[in-house]
Structure formats: C-alpha cells, structure tokens
Amino acid sequence: MPELPEVETVRRSLQRLVSHKTIARAEIRWPRMVENPESFSLELVGKTILSVWRRGKYLLFDLGEKVLVSHLRMEGKYFLKDADAPGEKHEHVKFVFTDGLALVYHDVRKFGTFCLRRKDELHEVPPLCRLGKEPLAPSFDATHLASVLKGTRPLKAALLDQRIMAGIGNIYADEILHCAGLHPEIPAGSLSFEDTERLAACAQKIIQDAVELGGTSIRTYKDTLGVTGRFQQRLSVHTKEGEDCPECGTKILKKKIGGRGTYFCPVCQKERKKG
Ligand SMILES: [Zn+2]
C-alpha cells in the first residue's frame, strides 16, 4: 500500500505531467469507486488541473473552486496515455484531456476512491478533516506528538492511525519505531518526553529520506509514472524477518500486532516491564 513517500512521488509526477491540462470528459467504468459518479463526471467537464497537492495518503487535484480527492488505497496507479489507446483490464476511471492525452486510473483491487470537495471547506469535511499533522509539517514536534499519543493501544497501532501522523502506514511505522528504539507494543500513552522527542525526530528523518529517494518499491506497488523508489535499500527491519539488525546484528523478528505484520529488533527495541 502506498504511504506518504510513495504518494508524494506519484504527486510529483502528476504535477509535472497533468497540471494545466483541461479535462474534456471523465469516463467511469467502476462507479462504486466514485462518490456521486454522475455529478462527478458532469462537474469535471472543462475543468483545468491547476496543480496537484497531497495530504496524508490523498492526492488532491486543484480544479479551482473544487478539488478532486483521490486515494490509491492498496494498489491504485495512474498512467498517462493517448486518449484513444485501447482500454485495459483494471482501468476503472479515465480522465480525457483536451490535448488528446488521458490520465487513466488502474486498480486491480478496486479499493481506490474518488470524490469532489469545495476547496474552501476541503480541510473541514471528510475525508481530510480526519487527518492528523503531516510528519514534515513545521509544527510537527514532540510537544504535538505527546498531545495526541494517548491510551493503552500498542504504539505501532497508534502510528497507523491517520489522526496521529498523516500518511504513515505499515512500512514506515516499522522503520520509525526501529529508528527510535521503541518496541511496537509499548502502550502509546506511556512514552517519556525523551521517547516522544526521538519518535518525532525519527519520523521526520525517515519520511524525509524516503521522499528524497522516491519511496519504497515493494511487492506489487510500483510507481507507474516513470519513477521507481529506492528507499527499500534503506529499510532496516520491514520485510527483514530473520536477517541481521543493521544496528546490533540481532535477528529481526516478525509478529502480528493489531492485525499487521510487524518487524522489529528485540534488542534495539526492548519490551518494557509495566509499572
Ligand atoms: Zn538491533
């Protein structure tokens, strides 16, 4: 599943390839992905993509008064093609531009979503109103993180909650916890301020590095707009079960936490006794 760095990589490609293009029509082949598909198609006609932004794992196409909100979920991908190129299986939404090209949305799992929102209320209504701060936002720091990390759920589960750190998923949660030396099952609300400072600094460092390297190419998710991420070469623990921890040489363990395969080093990320 693409996370912040992968979505940011897609965003940069889209910004370069489709901004300033005008939509002639939208063809929707799988209407269940699209909120109000009929009005969605009607509203897009004649709209120009001014710019492409990102918030968390959402791609945001600025159309002026409205913003097209796209979430890739598990395996959504975009391709830029000739508008009259034959359609392929798994191509569910097609934005045909006035210049003869088309942006095609491909999604084997059909979990992706599309909706339109008014720009002036974009951040006040779902889905974006549910997102926490971006880890690379200037105001993201330990004080902020301490104010949102609460309760007894495992820290790993808290990091996957988009209200805590927007854009973090399973890969980067594992890497951030390893960097910070924190066991994934520590209760989220039990961190000292020093732990929280390290966690905030690691989140910023890992996400910054991953964005610079174009994200992680892992399993089925590959950036389709000509960029292949290289952060997989920097992964310390994620998908490394049985391999040596790059910090201490201990074998990396894998454990299901909150339903997600979680990779960690039992020495660098020691479990703590309660109390
Ligand atoms: Zn280690």
pLDDT in tens, 161-174: 999 999 999 999 99
114 and 158 share one domain? no
Quick one: 38 and 153 in the same domain? no
Structural domain contains residue 31: yes
Active-site residue (options: 57, 133, 156, 198): 57
Q: Tell me, yes or no, whether 118 and 197 share the same domain.
A: no
CA atoms of 169 and 255, how far apart (whole Å) = 16
57 annotated active-site: yes
pLDDT at site 218 = 61
Assess if residue 270 is contained within a domain.
no
Q: Please, what's the largest Cα pairwise distance for the chain?
A: 66
Task: Tell me which of 1-5, 56-60, 118-122, 198-202 is least confident.
Answer: 1-5
Q: Residue 88, SS3?
A: coil
Strand 51-55 to 91-97 pairing: unpaired
* Span 42-99, pLDDT tens digits: 999 999 999 999 999 999 999 999 999 999 998 899 999 999 999 889 999 999 999 9
Q: How many angstroms separate the alpha carbon of residue 97 from the centre of ligand 1?
A: 51
Please say if the pLDDT value at position 5 is more than 80. Answer: yes
Question: How much of the chain, in percent, has pLDDT values that exceed 90?
Answer: 88
Q: Look up residue 245 and give its amino acid.
A: C
In whole angstroms, give the CA distance from residue 165 to residue 139. Answer: 12
pLDDT value at residue 224: 59
Nearest to 129 by CA among 43, 58, 74: 58
CA of 248 to the centre of ligand 1 (A): 4
Does 83 map to a domain? yes
Q: Residue 219: which pLDDT band, with cuts at 50, 70 and 90?
A: low
pLDDT band at 185 (very low <50, low <70, confident <90, very high): very high
Give 233 Cα–ligand 1 centroid separation in angstroms.
17
Final residue in a domain of this structure, among 109, 130, 151:
130
C-alpha 174 – ligand 1 centre gap (Å): 13
CATH code of the domain covering residue 88:
3.20.190.10
Q: Is 5 a catalytic residue?
A: no
On whether both 162 and 220 belong to a single domain, the answer is: yes
How high does pLDDT run on average in the chain?
Answer: 94
Residue 137 belongs to a domain: no
Q: What is the pLDDT of residue 187?
A: 96
E-strand ranges in the chain read 23-28, 51-55, 58-62, 66-71, 77-82, 91-97, 101-106, 113-118, 253-257, 260-264
**215 backbone dihedrals φ, ψ, rounded to 5°:** 85, -170
Answer whether residue 269 is part of any domain. no
Q: Which of 181, 188, 225, 234 is nearest to 207 (CA)?
A: 234
| Rounded Cα gap, residues 15 and 62, in angstroms | 10
pLDDT at residue 271, as a whole number: 87
Q: What percent of the chain has pLDDT over 70?
A: 95
Query: Residue 226 sits in a domain of what CATH number?
Result: 1.10.8.50
- What is the rounded CA–CA span in Å between residue 269 and residue 223? 32
Cα(5)–Cα(166) distance, integer angstroms: 11
Q: Has 205 been annotated as catalytic?
A: no
Let me know if residue 186 belongs to a domain.
Answer: yes
Peptide bond connecting 86 to the previous residue in cis, omega within 30 degrees of 0: no
End-of-domain residue from the set 90, 107, 130: 130
User: Could you give the C-alpha distances from 74 to 55, 64, 93, 127, 233, in angstroms and in order?
Assistant: 17, 28, 16, 17, 22
The pLDDT tens digits for 25-58 are 999 999 999 999 999 999 999 999 999 999 999 9
In a shared domain, residues 119 and 151: no
Q: Find the 232 Cα to ligand 1 centroid distance in Å.
A: 18
CB 95 within 8 A of CB 23: yes
CA of 75 to the centre of ligand 1 (A): 31
| pLDDT tens by residue, 246-264 | 999 999 999 999 899 999 9
- Asked whether residue 151 falls in the same domain as residue 124, the answer is no
Domain residue limits at 182: 142-264
The one catalytic residue in 81, 153, 230, 260 is: 260
pLDDT of residue 275: 44
For the beta sheet containing 101-106, the strands, ordered from the edge strand earlier in sequence to the opposite edge, are: 23-28, 91-97, 101-106, 77-82
Task: Answer whether residue 159 shows pLDDT above 60.
Answer: yes
* Alpha-carbon span 33 to 127, nearest angstrom: 14
> Which of 96, 130, 164 lies at the terminal end of a domain, its last residue?
130
- Number of structural domains, the chain? 2
Is residue 200 included in any domain, yes or no?
yes
Q: How far is the CA of 156 from the centre of ligand 1 (A)?
A: 17
Whether 24 is covered by a domain: the verdict is yes
Cα 195 to averaged position of ligand 1 atoms, centre (Å): 17
153: annotated active-site residue: no
> Which ranges constitute the DSSP H helices of the chain?
4-18, 37-44, 142-148, 155-160, 170-180, 193-212
Catalytic residue chosen out of the listed positions 3, 8, 75, 91: 3
Contacts of 53 (CB under 8 A, 6+ apart): 11, 59, 60, 62
